[in-house]
Amino acid sequence: MKLHVFIEEIKERVSEVLGEDYEVSLKKVLKNNSVEFDCLIITHRFDNVSPSIYLNSFYLEYLNGVPMETLVDGVIATYKNCLEQFDRSKCSLIDTEHAEEHIVLRLVNYARNIRILEECPHIRCKDLALIYHYMLSDDNSDGLVSVRIDYSNMAFFKLTEEKLKEKALENTERLFPPVFEKVEYLMKEYCRRMMGNAFTFGDERFADMFPMYVLTSKSRMNGAVCMLYKGMLERIKKTLGKGFYIIPSSINEILILPESYGMNQEDLAEMVQSVNYDIVPETEVLSDSVYHYPDDELQLF
């Protein structure tokens, strides 16, 4: 069964199971880096919340032999779980009177998001772009819950582009406070979770293996934008006492490598391209470029 046939079949079966109190529809959603997902939208006639359920993963399960009845049950369970998470979280409907308190910046790749950027206000920065999102929740523990602001909904938010820029930086620094630390700390934490007491690498050996630093947010989400906070890169330079390379690990964090380590920008760029292609999820790729501070001008604010 082809994908387009599968999603229509899922739609009909879910609608049949849920009954006439529910409206079930299909929609294509354009995510970061112009990755397109097929979504099922389910709305109860008494609810003002309509969870979007991505069907692509369910299709892969179907191709692996999972029965259609099981997948339908899985879609409905996902819908109910979304409603429960919404009720437990601090999510709310868009508050147009206080919208400016919830606008944040997200850093994305410019070329990979041309289709999206044509439809929304943004700020260009080298091969990257800053876009605006309205945060539906200030609690990032369950993921980033937000709505992208585009030209079609700007009037709804009652904000000008200048006001968007002004408030977004202030809110982003508040909601996504920066964390700058050695990569070895993150690797140790990960290895201890995976290996428990079997993890015995010495500090000196581990530091030699990972001579990098990571800049991210406290929540480990939307952390790449931290490098554009006012004065951030200069503060890192003062901390390291030297210039450094900026390696865009993903939209959630960047890596910092002191220039004294001996690697050149071209070799680092090749490494980044390979990692982006083989490891980083497509929706989280930030850039194949490597920047050098202070030579590359990245300061916007």
* 46 and 122 belong to one structural domain: no
Taking 60 as the threshold, does the pLDDT of residue 199 lie above it? Answer: no
Query: How many domains, in total, are found in the chain?
Result: 3
Q: What is the dihedral of CA 78, 142, 301, 171, to 10 degrees?
A: 100
* 187 and 284 belong to one structural domain: yes
Arithmetic mean of pLDDT, 72-76: 96
* Rounded Cα gap, residues 219 and 188, in angstroms: 18
* Rounded Cα gap, residues 103 and 112, in angstroms: 23
- Assigned domain for 299 exists: no
CA angle 90, 91, 97 (to 5 degrees): 110
Q: How far is CA 157 from CA 56, 58, 100, 102, 297, in A?
A: 31, 35, 8, 10, 32
CA angle 38, 136, 216 (to 5 degrees): 90
* 183 and 289 belong to one structural domain: yes
- Assigned domain for 248 exists: yes
* 269 and 242 belong to one structural domain: yes
- The last residue of one of the domains, among 62, 88, 114, is 88
pLDDT band at 136 (very low <50, low <70, confident <90, very high): confident
- Assigned domain for 284 exists: yes
- Assigned domain for 197 exists: yes
* 273 and 170 belong to one structural domain: no
The count of other CB atoms within 10 Å of the CB of residue 110 is 16
Looking at the chain, the whole-number percentage of residues with pLDDT higher than 70 is: 84
Q: Where are the beta strands (DSSP E) in 69-177?
A: 103-109, 122-125, 128-135, 146-148
Which phi and psi angles does 38 have, rounded to 5°? -90, 125
- Assigned domain for 274 exists: yes
* Rounded Cα gap, residues 256 and 291, in angstroms: 10
Looking at the chain, the whole-number percentage of residues with pLDDT higher than 90 is: 61
* 65 and 146 belong to one structural domain: no
- Assigned domain for 149 exists: yes
CA angle 80, 86, 91 (to 5 degrees): 165
* Rounded Cα gap, residues 109 and 195, in angstroms: 35
Confidence at residue 139, expressed as pLDDT on a 0 to 100 scale: 59
- Domain holding 264, by residue range, is 178-217+223-293
Q: How far is CA 28 from CA 31, 43, 107, 163, 239, in A?
A: 10, 16, 23, 30, 46
Confidence at residue 93, expressed as pLDDT on a 0 to 100 scale: 58
* 132 and 64 belong to one structural domain: no
- Assigned domain for 9 exists: yes
- The last residue of one of the domains, among 24, 58, 88, is 88
Radius of gyration of the chain (CA): 22
* 284 and 201 belong to one structural domain: yes
Arithmetic mean of pLDDT, 151-160: 84
- The last residue of one of the domains, among 72, 88, 104, is 88
Confidence at residue 87, expressed as pLDDT on a 0 to 100 scale: 62
pLDDT band at 158 (very low <50, low <70, confident <90, very high): confident
The residue among 105 and 93 whose pLDDT is bigger is 105
- Assigned domain for 298 exists: no
